[in-house]
Chains A and B, each alone.
Chain A
Amino acid sequence: MWPFAERLRQEFEARKDKNPRYSLRAFAAFLGADHATLAQIFRGIRRVPVANIQAWALRLGLVTEEAQVYLAAARAPDNLARARQHRLRLWSAEALAVVTDRTHFEILRLLRLPGFNPQSRWIAEQAGVPIDQVNIALQRLLRLGLVAMRPGEPWRDLTGLAELSVDSFRRLALARLRGMGVGLPK
């Protein structure tokens, strides 16, 4: 149950303890609410409208500070929404990185050269980017299953692309991201 709904329920129970005949309808009337709405709030199938919290808190005689806590809690996104936003933010950032950071493509391009040296430092020098950028891109390629670094083997390009181009890489990487279900909007 939402925090303010729980507070309302406590108040209702306290009144019922004092007067067993005290009804939900009476409590709703006291708040200036519709009793069917209040019943749904108590069953947890409806949220207390944010616009009503302040007015109902005032009727209950809550101090302003306590009312503000319930208002803040009601305005904060719930866990599900927060998780969804987080996944979407991560996916967008990953997708943007794939689309805008050419380092991924450079790693794959260099990997196909006969003189490839499997060291981030060498790749950074060849690609002309900072070594941290190479390591971030390399980890992303590993995560997407586009590169493999296995014991006793040279690094392997797992793209399956006969001809590597920036566009073909982007298409493939974005498809992999989608396939990994990192919260992609459909």
Chain B
Amino acid sequence: MKGENVPHPVTKFQIVSAQPDVTAAFYTGLFGWRTDADNPMGYREIHTGSDAGIQGGIWPAPAHASAFVQLFIQSDDVEATARKAQELGARLIVPPTALPEGDRMAVLVDPAGMAFAIWRPRG
């Protein structure tokens, strides 16, 4: 698999919330984070205001879903990593997808039931 011997760092976190505005208001109010949704998907990018740690985002969830946090794990080859994840027992939720601004992403659920994303940022 391409990229098998390269690191796969966690480069982003995503809060999935049925009340994304409430979530954004809470964390920006608590930590002084900034959110910016001025992009084609209206995706609420989280800027923590620090170079330490990783940056994040907020994605809307259906009303019945509980809020949770997803890790975004970087890969040069989203398709191949998603395939390997499935071989290891993960369930594919969102197939490898190209987002409007050029990021690539797949969402899976690991064998223990935790959802995570494999992604390749644009550029």
In the complex, which residues of chain A have a beta carbon less than 8 angstroms from the beta carbon of B98?
A: 149-153
In the complex, which residues of chain A have a beta carbon less than 8 angstroms from the beta carbon of B41?
A: 119-121, 131, 135
Stretch in A37-45, A61-69, A137-145 touching the partner: A137-145
B69 at the interface (CB under 8 A from A): no
Nearest-CB distance from B35 to chain A (Å)?
13
B94 adjacent to A139 (CB under 8 Å): yes
Tell me the chain A residues, 109-141 only, with Cβ under 8 Å from chain B: 118-122, 124, 131-136, 139-140
A-B contacts, 29 listed (Cβ < 8 Å): A89-B64, A90-B64, A93-B62, A93-B63, A93-B64, A94-B62, A97-B62, A118-B40, A118-B100, A119-B41, A119-B100, A120-B40, A120-B41, A120-B42, A122-B40, A124-B42, A131-B37, A131-B41, A131-B42, A133-B60, A135-B42, A136-B61, A142-B94, A142-B95, A143-B94, A149-B97, A151-B98, A152-B98, A153-B98
In the complex, the chain B residue whose C-beta lies closest to that of A139 is B94
In the bound complex, what is the Cα–Cα distance between A133 and B42 (angstroms)? 11
Q: A120-B41, A122-B40, A135-B59 are in contact. List 20 more A-B contacts (CB 8 A).
A: A93-B63, A97-B62, A119-B40, A119-B41, A120-B100, A121-B40, A121-B42, A132-B42, A133-B60, A134-B42, A135-B41, A135-B42, A142-B97, A143-B93, A148-B95, A150-B96, A150-B98, A151-B104, A152-B98, A153-B98
B61 adjacent to A145 (CB under 8 Å): no
Interface residue SS majority, chain A = helix
In the complex, which residues of chain A have a beta carbon less than 8 angstroms from the beta carbon of B100?
A: 118-120
Nearest-CB distance from A23 to chain B (Å)?
44
Binary flags per residue of B27-52, CB closer than 8 Å to A gives 1, else 0: 00000000001001111000000000
A132 adjacent to B60 (CB under 8 Å): yes
A150 adjacent to B97 (CB under 8 Å): yes
In the complex, which residues of chain A have a beta carbon less than 8 angstroms from the beta carbon of B64?
A: 89-90, 93
